[in-house]
Amino acid sequence: GAVHRLENPGRIPLTLIEVQSGPYLGEDDIVRLEDVYKRL
């Protein structure tokens, strides 16, 4: 995995579709980094 961030610079609300692939699709292998905007 790689550190990444999503931004929507437009005025239209963004809809995100998350796609996972591979033999394991659990949520417990995701590492959440600190949000610099304090949204989490």
Range of the domain at 28: 1-40
Query: What pLDDT does 12 receive?
Result: 95
Identify each DSSP E strand in the chain by its residue range: none
Tokens 């929507």 correspond to: 8
pLDDT of residue 11: 95
Question: Tokens standing for 30?
Answer: 């995701």
Report angle CA 29, 32, 38 to the nearest 5 degrees.
Answer: 165
* Alpha helices (runs of H) in 1-40, residue ranges in sequence order: none
Q: Give pLDDT, residue 13.
A: 93
- The total number of structural domains in the chain stands at 1
pLDDT per residue as tens digits for the range 1-40: 788 888 899 999 989 898 888 898 888 878 888 877 777 5
pLDDT of residue 40: 58
d(CA 33, CA 28): 14
pLDDT of residue 17: 93
Contact 16, 6 (CB under 8 A): yes
pTM: 0.42
